[in-house]
Structure 1
Amino acid sequence: MSFSENYYPSPDGLNLYYREYGSDEGACPLLCLSGLTRSSLDFHEFAERYATSRKVYTLDYRGRGKSDYDTDYKNYNPQIYIGDIFAFLTTKGIGKALFVGTSLGGLLTIAMAGLAKNYIAGAILNDVGPEVDKSGSSRILDYVGKDVRFKTREEAAAQQKKIYGGAYPDLPEEDWLGQAETTFVYDETAKNYRLNYDLSLGRALVDQLNAKEQVDLWPFFRELGDLPVLAIRGALSDVLSKEVFERMKEEDPDMEALVLENRGHVPLLNEPEALKKMDDFIARIR
């Protein structure tokens, strides 16, 4: 096993799971934060690649993967997640990290910049910015929290391709099975594959999107202005619009920007062009 499996306590007593890769503590560690319904599994190949030169941590938010589920669905919100991230940093004694945030993970990274910038050595924002396009949020709302199950991984992979094929038009057939393996977990009781997160996330998302007041993240994003930032956008993305991406570059002229063709929401971070860019970016943050 190329990683160790560990848990840390949340401020309200949940056991939250994380993976720790690598042994070199001399360089700035990477802290990987996944998307809304995703888990640490998404970053396995990424973590193995960069763990040769530094520590890499990949977290399961509460209600995802191997972390405890919360009995109160209202705790599935960004404010609580940020508190959990603070608890992780404190538990591990991490003073600074290079944050790698995909989708929700990127939003949390932006929020952290406004609340506790001192923890951030730099940021990789994967297909996310201070504004989420309404078409993307509507699409996400349509599927989050639905109890979808399959008898085999192959059936799950076929459904993944049917639903998300537009975001990955050139993805090899065998990679769809990998997508299924990071999305579903085997339910020993029901003898089928279920989604690897608490379905109550759907209720939480409805509340958050329908809230009368929405947080303006642009001031938080500006706090990243004097830090190394690499922003990646899928050219087919319905979450990070071209207009918002262009404004991000205007707000932060030093931000490195990469657009990946044939990718929607979200790039997988294994694309050759992305790897080349990330290799250089990460190597400069010691």
Structure 2
Amino acid sequence: MREGAVRWLSPAGFFTMRWWEWGPEDGAPVVCVHGLTRSGRDFDALARHLAGAGRRVICPDLPGRGASDWLPDPMLYQPAVYIAALSHLLARLDGPVDWVGTSLGGICGMGIAAMAGHPIRRMVLNDVGAFVPKKAMARIRDYLGTEPVFRDIPALEAHLRAVHAPFGALSDAEWRHLAETSARPAEGGIALHYDPAIAAPIRAAEAQALDMQGLWEKVRIPVLLIRGAESDLLLPETAAAMAAEPHVTLAEVAGAGHAPALMDAAQIALVAEFLAQ
């Protein structure tokens, strides 16, 4: 695993977005973008597998997460700004890429793939689609902005096991990996690896459904749509309507909600086989 970084221009000035990179530098690129409160290290298992098949896998930490810079204005923590940062990375790569996006990472992927001249060849949308119901948005709003300080890694791991139980049946080693890569030093112990201010745009407004149908209609590349069978964010009817399009393949993961962790062998194989086409 290597580390990389790019300076990108936001409305508040230039900041650094960092990423984790696997595989040969001349391999066909795969960009893996994490969910709202996570980081690029969530994709370690998937990236290791894809790198073994010769792919160059780049897993950025979105602004305000992981090793990337925090932003001075909390209201900048919105998809359009993340897309701006990711576009600087895509300009650096300067060629076709495949995209794996979990939740927020999938929203960013749709936003980019809806634009003329975009570089995305194939895209995996992990438990996110054209419509997010109000109830799911309210759940996200309610758990953001209440980030505690933990005394140690086991305490943080226990929190992740509770909050992210919908990731599915992960092994003890996988939960520990998520905990270890989710920690940053904080006064009195350790905290989660993101700026608590990422909650500001969501908490500033009343929860309402997120309708991205107009955006989705412009996405015409091959898409693998993965749905956690118990997901409250990607509803069955939304997934079915999206899968009616000839360029979309739908796969459902039993025993998972929002969102499948893409860490076990079956889920990794599902993604790898789609991207190999």
Are residues 1:145 and 2:141 paired?
no
Q: 1:164 to 1:151 in 2, by over 3 A?
A: same
- Percent of aligned pairs sharing the same letter: 30
Kept in 2, the 8 Å contact 1:145–1:198? The answer is no
Q: Which whole-Å CA distance do the structure 1 matches of 2:103 and 2:206 have between them?
A: 15
**Range with greater deviation from structure 2 (119-128 or 13-22):** 13-22
> Counterpart of 1:262?
255
Q: Which whole-Å CA distance do the structure 2 matches of 1:117 and 1:131 have between them?
A: 25
* 1:217-236 alpha-carbon deviations (Å, 9 max, x no partner): 223222333x2211100001
Q: 1:164 to 1:32 in 2, by over 3 A?
A: closer
Equivalences for residues 84-103 of structure 1 within 5 A: 84-90=85-91, 92-103=92-103
**1:26 Cα shift?**
4.8
Could you tell me which amino acid in structure 2 is paired with residue 192 of structure 1?
G
* 1:137-166 alpha-carbon deviations (Å, 9 max, x no partner): 11111111223111111112222223333x
Q: 1:209 to 1:48 in 2, by over 3 A?
A: farther
> Counterpart of 1:247?
241
Q: 1:279 to 1:134 in 2, by over 3 A?
A: same
Q: Which whole-Å CA distance do the structure 2 matches of 1:208 and 1:16 have between them?
A: 27
Q: Which whole-Å CA distance do the structure 2 matches of 1:37 and 1:276 have between them?
A: 25
**Range with greater deviation from structure 2 (49-58 or 178-187):** 178-187
Q: Which whole-Å CA distance do the structure 2 matches of 1:130 and 1:47 have between them?
A: 26
**1:271 Cα shift?**
3.0
> Counterpart of 1:272?
265
TM-score normalized with structure 2 length: 0.91
Q: Which whole-Å CA distance do the structure 2 matches of 1:41 and 1:276 have between them?
A: 19
Over the aligned positions, Cα root-mean-square deviation in angstroms equals 2.0
**Range with greater deviation from structure 2 (18-27 or 119-128):** 18-27
The structure carrying a bigger helix percent of its residues is: 1
TM-score normalized with structure 1 length: 0.88
Q: Which whole-Å CA distance do the structure 2 matches of 1:282 and 1:168 have between them?
A: 22
Q: Which whole-Å CA distance do the structure 2 matches of 1:176 and 1:126 have between them?
A: 19
**1:114 Cα shift?**
1.5
> Counterpart of 1:76?
77
Q: Which whole-Å CA distance do the structure 1 matches of 2:43 and 2:170 have between them?
A: 18
SS at match of 1:111: helix
**1:168 Cα shift?**
4.7
Q: 1:39 to 1:220 in 2, by over 3 A?
A: same
SS at match of 1:219: helix
Q: 1:9 to 1:271 in 2, by over 3 A?
A: same
Structure 1 unmatched runs, 5+: none
> Counterpart of 1:108?
108
**1:209 Cα shift?**
5.6
Count of residue correspondences: 273
* 1:181-233 alpha-carbon deviations (Å, 9 max, x no partner): 2333233xx2411011111111122236658xx874223222333x2211100
Q: Which whole-Å CA distance do the structure 2 matches of 1:56 and 1:215 have between them?
A: 30
Could you tell me which amino acid in structure 1 is paired with residue 198 of structure 2?
L
1:228 to 212, 222, 227: 222
Kept in 2, the 8 Å contact 1:110–1:217? The answer is no
> Counterpart of 1:61?
62
Structure 2 unmatched runs, 5+: none
* 1:226-255 alpha-carbon deviations (Å, 9 max, x no partner): x221110000111111111111112x2331
Q: Which whole-Å CA distance do the structure 2 matches of 1:18 and 1:254 have between them?
A: 30
The structure carrying a bigger strand percent of its residues is: 2
* 1:46-102 alpha-carbon deviations (Å, 9 max, x no partner): 111111212111111111111111111111111111111111112x23222101100
Kept in 2, the 8 Å contact 1:21–1:47? The answer is yes
Q: 1:10 to 1:208 in 2, by over 3 A?
A: farther
Could you tell me which amino acid in structure 1 is paired with residue 217 of structure 2?
R
**Range with greater deviation from structure 2 (232-241 or 117-126):** 117-126
Q: Which whole-Å CA distance do the structure 1 matches of 2:197 and 2:178 have between them?
A: 22
Q: Which whole-Å CA distance do the structure 2 matches of 1:67 and 1:130 have between them?
A: 28
* 1:85-138 alpha-carbon deviations (Å, 9 max, x no partner): 111112x23222101100000011111122245311010000000111222211
Kept in 2, the 8 Å contact 1:184–1:196? The answer is yes
Q: 1:105 to 1:182 in 2, by over 3 A?
A: same
Could you tell me which amino acid in structure 2 is paired with residue 196 of structure 1?
H
